[in-house]
């Protein structure tokens, strides 16, 4: 695979970002520096950490960045639930975006599993 943009997690994460932006456009202006900013930053962070992880050379480094990315998916989901609790949206309004966050998280879990199970390189003896 030549680029992180080829990963299914990237493609689903990009859909997540687009949906988060569309949804947050409907929030009141007084949430501009609160929920809007936080949800947008978290969704973008999913992609940023995924891209950074892809570019890391070691398996442990890759798994670490993918784990951070997966955590951002959970943050997006939590913030969406907050918008429902605060009566900004109904559950039906956010279900599709929550599904995208969960799907992206599952795809990232697969990447984490792959790179967490790879053996660490053995240190070279001093010659």
| pLDDT one-digit tens code per residue, 26-73 | 999 999 999 999 999 999 999 999 999 999 999 999 999 999 999 999
| Dihedral sign (CA 60, 65, 68, 70) | negative
State the pLDDT at residue 76.
98
Pinpoint the alpha helices (H) of the chain: 8-24, 37-55, 59-85, 91-116
Provide the percentage of residues in the chain whose pLDDT is more than 70.
Answer: 93
pTM of the full predicted structure? 0.90
Q: What is the mean pLDDT of residues 97-121?
A: 91
The structural domains of the chain, ordered by start, are: 4-116 (1.20.1440.60)
Task: Say how many CA atoms lie within 13 Å of 107 toward its Cβ.
Answer: 21
The whole-angstrom separation of Cα 119 and Cα 22 is: 42
The whole-angstrom separation of Cα 99 and Cα 109 is: 15
């Amino acid at each position: 695979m030549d680029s992180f943009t080829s990963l299914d997690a990237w493609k689903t994460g990009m859909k997540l970002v687009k949906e988060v932006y569309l949804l947050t456009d409907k929030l009141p202006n007084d949430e501009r520096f609160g929920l809007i900013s936080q949800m947008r930053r978290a969704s973008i962070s999913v992609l940023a950490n995924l891209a950074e992880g892809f570019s890391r050379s070691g398996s442990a480094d890759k798994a670490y960045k993918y784990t951070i990315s997966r955590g951002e998916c959970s943050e997006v989901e939590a913030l969406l639930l907050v918008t429902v609790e605060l009566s900004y949206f109904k559950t039906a309004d956010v279900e599709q975006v929550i599904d995208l966050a969960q799907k992206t998280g599952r795809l990232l879990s697969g990447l984490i599993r792959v790179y967490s199970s790879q053996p660490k390189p053995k240190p070279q003896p001093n010659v």
